[in-house]
Amino acid sequence: MGDVVNKTGELPADVRLRSFQELIRGMYHDRDVERGIDGTFMWLMEEVGELATALREGSHADQLEEFADVLAWLTTIANVAGVDLSEAVMQKYGSGCPGCGDWVCRCSKDGKP
Protein backbone atom coordinates (compact mmCIF):
# COMPACT_ATOMS: atom_id res chain seq x y z
CA MET A 1 0.00 0.00 0.00
CA GLY A 2 2.99 2.29 0.46
CA ASP A 3 3.37 2.76 -3.31
CA VAL A 4 -0.26 3.81 -3.63
CA VAL A 5 -0.28 6.67 -1.12
CA ASN A 6 2.03 9.71 -1.59
CA LYS A 7 4.28 11.28 1.05
CA THR A 8 1.44 13.39 2.44
CA GLY A 9 -0.64 10.27 3.09
CA GLU A 10 -3.02 10.94 0.20
CA LEU A 11 -3.80 9.23 -3.06
CA PRO A 12 -2.46 10.80 -6.24
CA ALA A 13 -5.09 12.59 -8.35
CA ASP A 14 -4.98 9.90 -11.05
CA VAL A 15 -5.31 6.51 -9.37
CA ARG A 16 -4.65 3.46 -11.53
CA LEU A 17 -6.99 0.49 -11.27
CA ARG A 18 -4.30 -1.86 -9.95
CA SER A 19 -3.20 0.73 -7.38
CA PHE A 20 -6.79 1.22 -6.24
CA GLN A 21 -7.26 -2.53 -5.87
CA GLU A 22 -4.08 -2.70 -3.77
CA LEU A 23 -5.29 0.21 -1.64
CA ILE A 24 -8.66 -1.44 -0.96
CA ARG A 25 -6.93 -4.76 -0.23
CA GLY A 26 -4.62 -3.07 2.27
CA MET A 27 -7.44 -1.25 4.02
CA TYR A 28 -10.08 -3.95 4.24
CA HIS A 29 -8.85 -7.42 3.16
CA ASP A 30 -9.13 -9.28 6.46
CA ARG A 31 -12.61 -7.91 7.14
CA ASP A 32 -13.67 -8.60 3.54
CA VAL A 33 -12.50 -12.21 3.61
CA GLU A 34 -14.33 -12.74 6.89
CA ARG A 35 -17.55 -11.32 5.37
CA GLY A 36 -17.12 -13.42 2.23
CA ILE A 37 -18.33 -12.98 -1.32
CA ASP A 38 -22.05 -13.32 -0.54
CA GLY A 39 -22.04 -10.70 2.23
CA THR A 40 -19.87 -8.37 0.18
CA PHE A 41 -22.12 -8.79 -2.84
CA MET A 42 -25.09 -7.67 -0.73
CA TRP A 43 -23.19 -4.50 0.23
CA LEU A 44 -22.42 -3.88 -3.44
CA MET A 45 -26.10 -4.20 -4.33
CA GLU A 46 -27.02 -1.71 -1.60
CA GLU A 47 -24.49 0.75 -3.02
CA VAL A 48 -25.82 0.22 -6.56
CA GLY A 49 -29.26 1.14 -5.23
CA GLU A 50 -27.84 4.27 -3.61
CA LEU A 51 -26.15 5.16 -6.91
CA ALA A 52 -29.46 4.75 -8.74
CA THR A 53 -31.08 7.15 -6.28
CA ALA A 54 -28.23 9.65 -6.63
CA LEU A 55 -28.49 9.53 -10.43
CA ARG A 56 -32.23 10.18 -10.31
CA GLU A 57 -32.43 12.82 -7.62
CA GLY A 58 -29.03 13.47 -6.07
CA SER A 59 -26.49 16.21 -6.49
CA HIS A 60 -23.27 15.81 -8.42
CA ALA A 61 -21.47 15.40 -5.08
CA ASP A 62 -23.87 12.57 -4.16
CA GLN A 63 -23.16 10.90 -7.51
CA LEU A 64 -19.39 11.17 -7.02
CA GLU A 65 -19.68 9.51 -3.62
CA GLU A 66 -21.89 6.67 -4.82
CA PHE A 67 -19.79 5.92 -7.91
CA ALA A 68 -16.75 5.68 -5.63
CA ASP A 69 -18.62 3.37 -3.24
CA VAL A 70 -19.76 1.05 -6.05
CA LEU A 71 -16.23 0.86 -7.43
CA ALA A 72 -14.82 0.16 -3.96
CA TRP A 73 -17.28 -2.66 -3.26
CA LEU A 74 -16.73 -4.20 -6.70
CA THR A 75 -13.00 -4.06 -6.02
CA THR A 76 -13.56 -5.69 -2.64
CA ILE A 77 -15.35 -8.64 -4.24
CA ALA A 78 -12.54 -8.99 -6.76
CA ASN A 79 -10.01 -9.10 -3.92
CA VAL A 80 -11.95 -11.75 -2.01
CA ALA A 81 -12.40 -13.80 -5.20
CA GLY A 82 -8.72 -13.46 -6.14
CA VAL A 83 -9.44 -11.56 -9.36
CA ASP A 84 -6.97 -8.96 -10.65
CA LEU A 85 -9.25 -6.28 -12.12
CA SER A 86 -6.53 -4.89 -14.40
CA GLU A 87 -5.99 -8.35 -15.87
CA ALA A 88 -9.74 -8.89 -16.26
CA VAL A 89 -10.24 -5.55 -18.03
CA MET A 90 -7.29 -6.07 -20.36
CA GLN A 91 -8.35 -9.61 -21.18
CA LYS A 92 -11.90 -8.53 -22.04
CA TYR A 93 -11.40 -5.03 -23.52
CA GLY A 94 -7.66 -4.73 -24.20
CA SER A 95 -8.04 -5.44 -27.92
CA GLY A 96 -11.19 -3.39 -28.52
CA CYS A 97 -14.85 -4.27 -28.36
CA PRO A 98 -15.28 -7.95 -27.37
CA GLY A 99 -18.03 -8.30 -29.98
CA CYS A 100 -16.59 -6.70 -33.12
CA GLY A 101 -12.96 -6.09 -32.17
CA ASP A 102 -13.06 -2.41 -33.15
CA TRP A 103 -12.02 0.42 -30.82
CA VAL A 104 -15.30 2.18 -31.60
CA CYS A 105 -18.00 -0.49 -31.30
CA ARG A 106 -19.76 -1.34 -34.53
CA CYS A 107 -21.80 -4.24 -33.19
CA SER A 108 -25.43 -4.56 -34.21
CA LYS A 109 -27.76 -2.53 -32.02
CA ASP A 110 -29.99 -5.60 -31.76
CA GLY A 111 -27.68 -7.09 -29.11
CA LYS A 112 -26.59 -5.51 -25.85
CA PRO A 113 -26.88 -1.73 -25.77
User: Using one digit for the tens of pLDDT, what is the confidence trace for 70-103?
Assistant: 999 999 999 999 999 999 999 999 999 999 999 9
The span from the CA of 11 to the CA of 90, in Å, is 23
At residue 11, does pLDDT exceed 80? no
The yes or no reply on domain 17-82 and CATH 3.40.50.10300 is: no
CA atoms within 13 A on the CB side of 81: 15
Q: Domain segments of the chain: what residues?
A: 17-82
At residue 2, does pLDDT exceed 70? no
Confidence (pTM): 0.83
